[in-house]
């Protein structure tokens, strides 16, 4: 898996300070900058507009995604909210089935009030997508693999279709990171990240990033970033640069551990089904492996009805039950009552999000310790002579 991408993670962006030679990007904890004379400054006027530490992470993520322009925000939602502000009343966006709950919420409860509407489409199906591209549709917003069933959208084909119709293509690349998947190189226009997850990687920071390659688009996004003002603070910019240095090592281990667990669970007598696009037997494997370097660190599985999933969730010892994902530590989530609770039960079940569906963000611990923990929790969840414990 090694490549010069690993070098970019360490040396990319603006990592040194010309004045002192500091090896790491200094934290410029300042709101403003003294100007030499009227109309003459050193490129920095006010930190909402531009800050050297934020410059560091913005140029690093741009380099990593293979785009020219990067933007850093105070959260993934601040990044998405800024991107959605590119649109105007009467416009409509197509979103993948199972987009992140917060993305659905900001469209459904915020932007809808401004008459910016959305349509949910299974973006894996190009015919369905093509016929949904009516004149008011101005963008397609994709997550791939999408949460929690890890369904995979073919990015190059969607990008081509969008280009043909003059529609913007946007990919939320949070689950893959540029280490595994680089949507701009497949023809996508805008990449968005919740850097809170794998890019930060240590569950100690909330941040969002955007990358584009087109100058005109970059100008509009830069204007919105400064106008709306949801920018990433200097200290958090520093933390994110620091976290990203080990992205390569972490993603390799996330993928290795997730594949190990997916293989073990798919042979487990207590497990009905496993969803992991890195598994050769998975329905999404072919498309996933054509556009990404690995299956990633997220997997989901369904426990057989003889096992009480509620007992499973409280029985793991290493793996914590928590929202979020992408950190070094493994986390469990119950999509039906946590990430996808805002979706009505009938709709949720028709989308395949069953009550006994378990989502696992596989960390970088020793894989066998994780499997042992899951096995003992499954053992405890086993019903007692047909009666639930």
**Coil, helix or strand for 337?**
coil
Nearer to ligand PLP, 140 or 271 (CB): 140
Q: With residue 209 as reference, give the H or E element that holds it.
A: strand 208-212
CB of 366 to ligand PLP, least distance (A): 25
Cβ neighbors of 126 (< 8 A, separation 6 or more) are 154, 157, 158, 161
CB of 206 to ligand PLP, least distance (A): 5
Distance CA 97, CA 109 (A): 17
Nearer to ligand PLP, 137 or 206 (CB): 206
**Coil, helix or strand for 312?**
helix
Closest residue to ligand PLP, based on beta-carbon distance: 76
Summarize as ranges the residues that interact with ligand PLP (CB under 6 A): 75-77, 100, 102-103, 143, 172, 174, 194, 196-197, 206, 208
CB of 324 to ligand PLP, least distance (A): 7
Nearer to ligand PLP, 33 or 104 (CB): 104
CB of 80 to ligand PLP, least distance (A): 6
Task: Judge whether 52 and 26 are in contact, CB under 8 Å.
Answer: yes
Least Cα distance to 232 among 22, 52, 24, 16 occurs for: 52
Tokens, residue 240: 């994110």
Distance CA 386, CA 369 (A): 29
Task: Judge whether 167 and 139 are in contact, CB under 8 Å.
Answer: yes
Tokens, residue 23: 């090896």
Nearer to ligand PLP, 46 or 235 (CB): 235
Distance CA 323, CA 334 (A): 9
Neighbours of 19 (CB within 10 A): 7
Angle between helices 215-228 and 76-84 (to 10 degrees): 110
Nearer to ligand PLP, 103 or 257 (CB): 103
Beta bridge partners of 321: 332
Q: Using alpha carbons, list the distances in angstroms from residue 196 to 79, 81, 240.
A: 12, 16, 9
- Give the max Cα distance, the chain: 83
CB of 144 to ligand PLP, least distance (A): 10
Least Cα distance to 126 among 92, 169, 190 occurs for: 169
Backbone φ, ψ for residue 272 (5° rounding): -80, -45
Nearer to ligand PLP, 229 or 305 (CB): 229
Q: Using alpha carbons, list the distances in angstroms from residue 78 to 115, 297, 306, 338.
A: 19, 24, 43, 21
CB of 203 to ligand PLP, least distance (A): 12
Distance CA 368, CA 385 (A): 29
Nearer to ligand PLP, 9 or 206 (CB): 206
CB of 207 to ligand PLP, least distance (A): 6
CB of 386 to ligand PLP, least distance (A): 38
Nearer to ligand PLP, 8 or 82 (CB): 82
Write out the catalytic residue numbers.
48, 100, 172, 197
């Amino acid at each position: 898996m090694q490549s010069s991408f690993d070098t970019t993670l360490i040396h990319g962006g603006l990592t040194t300070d010309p004045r002192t030679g500091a090896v790491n990007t200094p934290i410029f904890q300042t709101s403003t900058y003294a100007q030499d004379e009227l109309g003459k400054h050193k490129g920095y006027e006010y930190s909402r507009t531009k800050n050297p530490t934020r410059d560091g992470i913005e140029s690093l993520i741009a380099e990593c995604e293979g785009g020219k322009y990067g933007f850093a925000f105070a959260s993934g939602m601040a990044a998405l909210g800024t991107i959605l502000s590119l649109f105007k009343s009467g416009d409509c966006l197509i979103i993948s089935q199972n987009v992140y709950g917060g993305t659905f919420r900001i469209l459904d409860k915020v932007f809808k009030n401004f008459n910016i509407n959305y349509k949910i489409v299974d973006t894996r199906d190009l015919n369905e997508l093509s016929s949904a591209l009516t004149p008011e549709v101005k963008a397609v917003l994709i997550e791939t693999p999408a949460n929690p069933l890890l369904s995979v959208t073919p990015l190059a084909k969607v990008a081509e279709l969008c280009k043909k119709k003059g529609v913007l293509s946007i990919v939320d690349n949070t689950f893959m990171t540029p280490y595994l998947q680089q949507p701009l190189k497949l023809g996508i226009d805008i990449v968005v990240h919740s850097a809170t997850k794998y890019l930060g990687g240590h569950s100690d920071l909330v941040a969002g990033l955007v990358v584009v390659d087109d100058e005109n688009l970059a100008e509009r996004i830069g204007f919105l970033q400064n106008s709306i003002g949801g920018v990433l603070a200097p200290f958090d910019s520093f933390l994110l640069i620091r976290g990203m240095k080990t992205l390569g090592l972490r993603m390799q281990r996330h993928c290795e551990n997730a594949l190990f667990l997916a293989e073990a669970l798919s042979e487990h007598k207590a497990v009905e089904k496993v969803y992991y696009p890195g598994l050769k037997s998975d329905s999404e494997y072919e498309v996933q492996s054509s556009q990404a370097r690995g299956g990633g660190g997220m997997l989901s599985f369904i426990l057989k009805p003889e096992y009480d999933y509620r007992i499973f969730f409280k029985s793991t010892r290493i793996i914590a039950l928590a929202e979020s994902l992408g950190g070094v530590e493994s986390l469990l989530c119950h999509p039906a009552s946590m990430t996808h609770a805002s979706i009505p039960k009938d709709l949720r079940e028709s989308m395949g999000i069953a009550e006994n569906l378990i989502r696992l963000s596989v960390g970088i611990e020793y894989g066998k310790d994780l499997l042992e923990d899951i096995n003992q929790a499954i053992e405890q969840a086993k019903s007692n002579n047909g009666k639930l414990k």
